[in-house]
Structure 1
Amino acid sequence: MKWTREDYIELMTFGNVERQMFVELFGPLIGLEEEWKGQGASQDQMNMIGFDFDYVPKINCGGDTFRRGGLKPTVLEETHEYIIHMDDLGRTMKLCKGKATIPLPLDYPVKDMDSWLKVKSMYQFSEDRINWDAVEAAKNAQKNGVLVRADIPGGFDEARELMGEEELCLSYYTQPELMYDIIDTISQTAYQVLDRVSDHVVIDNLSVHEDMAGKSGPLIGPNIITKFIKPYYRSVWDMLSSKGTKIFSQDSDGDMNSVIDSFLDCGVNVMYPAEPAAGMDIVKLRKKYGDRLAFKGGIDKHILRSSKDAILKELEYKMQPLMKGGGMVFGLDHRIPNGTPLENYIYYINTSREILGLPPLDGQRKGWERMAF
C-alpha cells in the first residue's frame, strides 16, 4: 500500500496510528532470486512487488551534499570473478561478481593533512550543488503526498571512505586537527546546501548512513561521537528542524546499544535496521527509550531459515502491542538471506499481515520500494 508523507511522518513521530506499516527494507541478497525461481516463485515475487508491501513515495530535495568531481572512474582489470577499477578518489576498488553489489577499497587516499588537502575541494560548497529545477520538482511532489528527503555524508562513514577504518580510528587520537577539518568541511557544505534548499521546500526526512558497528559493538565510542560528530549533526539538524523537518534517520548495522544515547543527543530520532544477531532488541529498546526513538526493521532475517514455529515466536514478540503505538516500521533487519525457503518467506508475510491486522494478500495489490532511508 502506498502511504502519503503525512501518514508516514505521523507514524514515525508517534502520532495517531491508524494502520501498522509492514515493509521490506532492502530486498534479497544476490542469488536468492534464482533460488526462489527454482522453488516456483512468480516474477512478481522475485521482483518483491507480489507481497503488497507498504511504502511511501520519496524524492530528493534537490541539494547535493556529497563529494563531487575528482578522477574519472576507470576499469583496471576484469575477470569472470571480479572487477577492479579506480574510483573518483583514486582508490583501487574490487567488486566480486555474483556476491556483492558494493565494491571494496583496496587502498585509501588520505593519511595526513597534506593528502586530505589534495581531495578537500571535492567536499567544499559551491552554488551549483543545488539543482533549483529539482528543488521545485520536490516542492510540487510534496503537495501530492511525496516525502522530501535530504541525505548527508556520515560523520564516521565518509571519513572511513577517505582513510579506512584503522587509520580513521587512530586519527581521532593521533591527528585530531585532521579529523576536525574533514568533518567541519563536510558539515559546512551540508549546512549551506540544505539551508538554501529548505528556504524553498520543507525537508521531511534528513538521512545519514554510518554503518559503524559490528556484532562486538561500534568502532567509536560516545566520547568521539560527542567531540567530533555531534557538532556536525546538530548544526544541520537544528537548522532543518527549525524549518519543519521532523525525521532524522540513521542507517547503521551492528550493535549500536552503547552509542544510542549519544546519537539521540545529536538529534537522531530514527534508527535502522536494528539487527537482533548483533544484540539490537527493538522491544527492549522501546521500553528503554519510549517515544524518543523510532525504528525500522528489527525482525531477525536469519529466523526465516528456521522453522515456522520459530518465525511465529519471533513475530509475536516483535509485533506485540507495545510496538504498535507508533514509531515502528516493521520489516527484516537487512537483506533477505540466501537459503531462505520461499515457503517460509510467504509464511512470514502472511503471518505478519495477520498479526498486524493488515488485509491478506490477494494477488491484485502490488507494490514495493526500498524503505532504507
Structure 2
Amino acid sequence: MPSGVSPADYFGYEIAIFSADTSPQFPTEVLYEDDEYIVEKTPYGGVRRNHKDYSTTPEVISWPCKSRDDWEKIKVRLKPSERRVDWVTGLNQYHCERSRGRFIMYGAAVGFDKIQNYVKTDELLKAVLRDPEWVVDMYWTDARLVMEMCDVMIRGGFKFDGAFLYCDLGYRWGLFFSPKYFEEQLHPVFKELCRFFKSRGMYVFLHSCGRVKDLIPYFIEEGIDVLQPLEVKAGMDLVELKEKYGDKMTFMGGIDVRLMALDDPKPIEEEIKRKIPVAKQGGGYIYHSDHSVPKNVSFRNYKRVIELVHKYGRYR
C-alpha cells in the first residue's frame, strides 16, 4: 500500500459505516497481554482473548448471562443516550466521507448474533428451544435500542442512506436453528427493523455468514434490500442466488476470498469471470469478497482482484 493512503481510498470503497455503542457499557479492562495476545473484559461484561491486531475471530472466555436473572440486571442498562455516540470524531469523519460521495450507513449488530455477546452460544440455542420468551425479549430489547440510537444520531446531524445490520445465522452446513424458530422469534424483529429504517428513507443491508439460503424468502418479506457476504464454502453460490432471487433482492459478495491468496492468478479470474457477468445483469449486484480478506492476501493480489472486477463488471 502507498503510505498515507487508506485501503478504502486506494481501492475506491463506496460505503462508510457509522455506529453507536449499543452495549450495556460495562467498564472495559485489559486482564492480560503479551507479545501476541490480549485478554480483555468487554463492554458487554464478558471476557475475550484476541490477537493483538484483532485480525482473527476472538476466543470467548466468559459470558455475562448465566441465567435469565442476569439478563434482567443487564437489561436496565440498555437505554438510549447521547453518551453512546462519539460525536466529535464521528461527525468529523461523517462530513469527510459525505464530501467524498460515499454511501453513508448506520451499522449495528442485531438478533441472534448480537445476543451471543450475553449468552454462551450452546446455551442460547437451548433457550431458543426451551425458553423462547426470554430469547424474544432479548431480541426486542436490543432492537429497540438499535432503532432509538439511530434516531439519536440523526437528530445529532447524521444523515444515513442505509442501515448495515450484522447477524450471522448459519455455519458451513446449515442454519444455527430451523426456519420455524427464525419465523417465530426473529422474523418479526427483522420486519420491524426494516419498517423503521425504510420509514427514514434508508436501504437495509444484512450481513449474515453461513448457509442461510432457507431464510432468503423471509429476508425478502421483511424488506431487506441487500444480502451479504454469500459465503462460498457454505454453498452460497452467487449465480444460483441471482437466478432465483435477483428480481427481488440485491446481492453483495460471493467472490471466494480463499482464491485471492493463491500465487496462481487463474482461479480467481475464473471465479470473477463466471460470476460477475451473470450477477451484474439488470443491476442488483455489489462486489465484495465472500468473507473478510485475511492477512495472507497480498496487496498485489488484491489489486489484481479489483482490476478483474472492473474488467468483468463494467457496463459497456
Cα distance in structure 2, aligned partners of 1:141 and 1:46 = 14
Larger Cα-atom Rg = 1
Matched, 1:81 2:61: no
Cross-structure match for 1:58 = 16
**3-state SS of 1:208 partner:** strand
1:135 positional shift: 7.5
TM-score by length of 1: 0.72
Matched, 1:319 2:276: yes
Pick one of 173, 177, 181 that aligns with 1:220: 177
The CA deviation string for residues 16-63 of structure 1, in whole angstroms up to 9 with x for no partner, is xxxxxxxxxxxxxxxxxxxxxxxxxx646996479x523225363xx7
1:201 positional shift: 6.2
Cross-structure match for 1:185 = 141
**3-state SS of 2:32 partner:** strand
Stretch of structure 1 that moved more, 339-348 or 229-238: 339-348
Cross-structure match for 2:49 = 94
Q: Is the 8 A contact 1:124 1:185 kept in 2?
A: no
Identify unmatched segments of 5+ residues in structure 1. 1-41, 360-373
Q: Is the 8 A contact 2:23 2:43 kept in 1?
A: no
Cα distance in structure 1, aligned partners of 2:66 and 2:271 = 45
Cross-structure match for 1:38 = none
What is the identity, as a one-letter code, of the residue corresponding to 2:12?
D
What is the identity, as a one-letter code, of the residue corresponding to 2:148?
Q
Cross-structure match for 1:69 = 25
Cα distance in structure 1, aligned partners of 2:197 and 2:253 = 25
Stretch of structure 1 that moved more, 303-312 or 115-124: 303-312
What is the identity, as a one-letter code, of the residue corresponding to 1:78?
E
Evaluate the alpha carbon distance shift between residue 44 and residue 90 of structure 1 in structure 2; reply closer, same or farther with a 3 A threshold: same
Q: Comparing both chains, which one has the higher relative contact order based on Cα–Cα distances under 8 Å and sequence gaps of 6 or more?
A: 1
Regions of 4+ moved over 6 Å: 130-137
Cross-structure match for 2:80 = 125
Matched, 1:170 2:126: yes
Report the RMSD for the aligned CA atoms in angstroms.
3.4
Pick one of 99, 102, 105 that aligns with 2:60: 105
Stretch of structure 1 that moved more, 189-198 or 308-317: 189-198
Evaluate the alpha carbon distance shift between residue 44 and residue 214 of structure 1 in structure 2; reply closer, same or farther with a 3 A threshold: farther
Q: Is the 8 A contact 1:272 1:297 kept in 2?
A: yes
1:168 positional shift: 0.8
Cross-structure match for 2:69 = 114
Cα distance in structure 1, aligned partners of 2:235 and 2:256 = 11
Cross-structure match for 1:282 = 238
1:357 positional shift: 3.6
Evaluate the alpha carbon distance shift between residue 352 and residue 239 of structure 1 in structure 2; reply closer, same or farther with a 3 A threshold: closer
Cα distance in structure 2, aligned partners of 1:218 and 1:328 = 24
Percent identity reads: 24
**3-state SS of 2:38 partner:** strand
The CA deviation string for residues 102-124 of structure 1, in whole angstroms up to 9 with x for no partner, is 53321111132201012112323
Q: Is the 8 A contact 1:135 1:197 kept in 2?
A: no
What does 1:203-352 correspond to in 2, within 5 Å?
A: 203-245=160-202, 247-304=203-260, 305=262, 307-337=264-294, 339-340=296-297, 344-352=301-309
Cα distance in structure 1, aligned partners of 2:147 and 2:61 = 31
Aligned length: 313
Q: Is the 8 A contact 2:37 2:50 kept in 1?
A: yes
Evaluate the alpha carbon distance shift between residue 45 and residue 295 of structure 1 in structure 2; reply closer, same or farther with a 3 A threshold: farther
Evaluate the alpha carbon distance shift between residue 147 and residue 352 of structure 1 in structure 2; reply closer, same or farther with a 3 A threshold: closer
Cα distance in structure 2, aligned partners of 1:195 and 1:47 = 30
Q: Is the 8 A contact 1:125 1:188 kept in 2?
A: no
**3-state SS of 1:85 partner:** strand
1:99 positional shift: 7.6
Evaluate the alpha carbon distance shift between residue 162 and residue 141 of structure 1 in structure 2; reply closer, same or farther with a 3 A threshold: same
What is the identity, as a one-letter code, of the residue corresponding to 1:120?
K
**3-state SS of 2:227 partner:** strand
Stretch of structure 1 that moved more, 84-93 or 264-273: 84-93
TM-score by length of 2: 0.83
Stretch of structure 1 that moved more, 350-359 or 325-334: 350-359
Cα distance in structure 2, aligned partners of 1:74 and 1:236 = 32
Cα distance in structure 1, aligned partners of 2:295 and 2:96 = 40
What is the identity, as a one-letter code, of the residue corresponding to 1:148?
I
**3-state SS of 1:84 partner:** strand
